[in-house]
Amino acid sequence: MNSKVQNETSGRYSKMKLLLISNSTNAGEEYLEYCKPDIVEFLKSYGVSKALFFPFAAVTFSYDEYERKVQEKLQPLGIEIVSIHRAGDATEAVSEAQAVVVGGGNTFQLLKAIQDLNLTEAIRSKVQSGTPYVGWSAGSNLACPTICTTNDMPIVAPKTFSSFNLVPFQINPHYLDAHPTGHAGETREQRLQEYIAANPHCYVAGLREASMLSLISGELKLHGSRAMRVFKSGQAPLELQPNDNLQFLLS
């Protein structure tokens, strides 16, 4: 990408403050253990003391339980968590939010619930105007143009797969390289190759666990100790490290 195009691209995203996390829990760790310092530092750097939480990806446990689960991890560190499901007026709650935090779970359930409340555009506009956004797993999927690169089963049918479109590329959270012995089905890479064959205009970022992306002041960065695998139709997959330039993904 030449410098002029890079400057224009960075300017387009200059107001947004995004932290997009692959997973909430590493093997052998407690919930949010590895990423909560990053979440808290990110939110506090913008003066956030209270965040609006979206628990709608929860399926087998209640929104109250999900809210409490996140509260227990973040409130002792100075970030109050209040769930959107408690709001009398959800649109007003979004407009007044200091930050938007979207938890993981089932991406189809999450998107359908947001669409049923007619919140897609309200959240998009709020975040594009500069309100910090944190998402993990399904919450990271919703930052993309669509949810088509989620790993989840479509247990419900949203009106459309289109989501917040905060970044112009797709994310595949929990990206796995492994192909289990004796498994004859598709690998994760094969499934993503199918996606880019059907959507040749779009990049897909395979975000491995214990990794996250930030978009701050128009600059996209990879955080963590693992490389990210990027797919694009007609190109060999790229292995990108945390210090690599990722601005081409914003083009």
pLDDT recorded at residue 150: 98
Provide mean pLDDT across the span 42-49.
Answer: 98
161 within a domain of the structure (yes/no): yes
Q: What is the mean pLDDT of residues 109-135?
A: 98
Number of domain units in the chain? 1
Single-letter amino acid code for the residue at 71:
Q
The contacts of residue 121 (CB under 8 Å, 6+ apart) are none
Report, as an integer, the average pLDDT of 162-179: 95
Assigned domain for 99 exists = yes
Q: How confident is the model at residue 123 (pLDDT cuts 50, 70, 90)?
A: very high
Looking at the chain, the whole-number percentage of residues with pLDDT higher than 70 is 96
- 117 pLDDT higher than 70: yes
- pLDDT of 1 strictly over 60: no
Q: What is the rounded average pLDDT for all residues in the chain?
A: 95
- Return the pLDDT at 4: 53
Two structure tokens written together for 82: 């209040």
Q: What is the CATH number of the domain that holds 129?
A: 3.40.50.880
**60 is a domain residue:** yes
Residue 119 Cα distances to 68, 91, 112, 164, 213, angstroms: 23, 7, 10, 10, 24
Please report whether residue 146 resides in a domain: yes
pLDDT tens, residue by residue, 213-250: 999 999 999 999 999 999 999 999 999 999 999 999 99
pLDDT of residue 3: 55
In this predicted model, what pLDDT tens digit does every residue of 62-89 receive, in sequence order?
999 999 999 999 999 999 999 999 999 9
User: With pLDDT > 90 as the criterion, what percentage of the chain qualifies?
Assistant: 92
Structural domain boundaries, residue 104: 3-167+209-225+241-250
Residue 186 — pLDDT band, cuts 50, 70, 90? Answer: confident
Report the alpha-carbon distance of residue 33 to residue 37 in Å, rounded: 8
Question: How much is the pLDDT for 179?
Answer: 75
The mean pLDDT value for 26-33 works out to 96
Residue 204 is assigned to a structural domain of this protein? no
User: Is the C-alpha dihedral spanning 19, 20, 24, 26 positive or negative?
Assistant: negative
Give the pLDDT band of residue 182 (cuts 50, 70, 90). confident
Q: Going by C-beta distance under 8 Å and a sequence separation of 6 or more, which residues neighbour residue 190? A: none
Residues found in the chain: 251
pLDDT for 178: 81
For residues 94 and 124, the answer to whether their CB atoms sit within 8 Å is no
Distances (CA, A) of 77 to 40, 48, 51: 7, 12, 13
Task: Look at residue 201 and tell me if it is in a domain.
Answer: no
In a domain, 200, yes or no: no
Q: Is 203 inside a domain boundary?
A: no
Given this model, what pLDDT does residue 6 score?
55
Annotated active-site positions, please? Answer: 137, 152, 174
The reported pLDDT for the residue numbered 180 is 74
pLDDT exceeds 60 at position 50: yes
Indicate the angle between helix axes 107-116 and 120-128, nearest 10 degrees.
100
* Bridging pattern class, strands 100-102 and 133-136: parallel
**Res 181 pLDDT > 90:** no
